[in-house]
Structure 1
């Protein structure tokens, strides 16, 4: 994961604009809260398919960013596989850095 993107993700976490955990992220995508979903490269095939399919159906950008430890470290939690950003401006900034 790019250090600047990790910093932005940490900022979003401190602003309480981050949802982490597979089920909570999928629920946020369904309800329209999620503006960007970050998926760990080492997520299981089942989780990857489930999250990518939900994001594609609801039109939410989904980006693979680092492994579970990099994502967890960026938000200050232990090993997260999926993370959703709920603020549009922060999501756009992170997406620009990662693509």
Structure 2
């Protein structure tokens, strides 16, 4: 089964099976991955599902929309490879992807 690894700020890893069509936020929530708050339920309105995509996976994760960038601009831990997990749809092509979680969500 294809999987994505979520890495907490303290280094704890959570390997989650990919369900195509779900967002990375949904996968994290369905699998009780700590560190994804998802306060707005996935509508790109809160920034509490911030992830940091490993650089080699950026092209697979796709580009952030202007709305997503506006939300990410408000988080102090934003880096060039930051995304909101509610805006990244899982595909089988993400098998092996690693995403890190910031120390704090907004």
Instruction: Tell me which interval the TM-score lies in, with the shorter structure as reference length.
Output: 0.3 to 0.5
TM-score (norm 2): 0.34
Please identify the structure whose Cα radius of gyration is greater. 2
Higher-strand-fraction structure = 2
Higher-helix-fraction structure = 1
